[in-house]
Amino acid sequence: MGQEDLHKAREAKKDEFYTQLVDIENELKHYREHFRGKTVLCNCDDPRVSNFFHYFSYNFEQLGLKKLITTCYKNQERDLFSQHNSERAIWLEYNGDHNGNRVPDPEEIGINYLQGDGDFRSQECIELLKQADIVVTNPPFSLFREYVAQLVKYGKKFRNCFEL
């Protein structure tokens, strides 16, 4: 997906954009040393389809992460075009491999229910944001300015890889 496609998605308010795993690997290899001992938050990523969650959970020990947290808007479909009609939104917490198989097994991933719909602007999602050292996610294009303003407000460092 090129920059022109990203501009079109932003203009059309198509918020369901998922970054390819190979693109994540290629970009984040330049920042590996910055993740050691850090809590990473992916606060706009459905962990069932998010390549960010996949990357960080499968590389947790190699990166030396402290914790991985992910949240998403309520969602019950395992595809990119969910209607966000699940009864409850969830947030996941992963603290690394405990059984030695170097794979993030379901029993090692803490599933927690949110009271609200998982919107990054909600107070409970802001509380998770406050725990994070680094935020890596695909924010909704239609709310990009509001999203960045929130990162600035809470003193979170970020890098805009797509120069929107």
More confident residue, 149 or 72: 149
Among positive and negative, which fits the CA dihedral 149, 25, 50, 134?
Answer: negative
pLDDT of residue 139: 84
Q: What is the pTM of this model?
A: 0.81
Q: What percent of the chain has pLDDT over 90?
A: 56
Burial class (CB in 10 A: 0-12, 13-18, 19+), 148: middle
Mean pLDDT of 123-145: 91
More confident residue, 82 or 130: 130
Q: Which amino acid is at 49?
A: V
Measured CA to CA in angstroms, residue 41 lies from 10, 35, 76, 99, 127 at distances of 23, 11, 21, 23, 11
Over the stretch 109-121, which tens digit does the pLDDT of each residue have?
Answer: 999 999 999 999 9
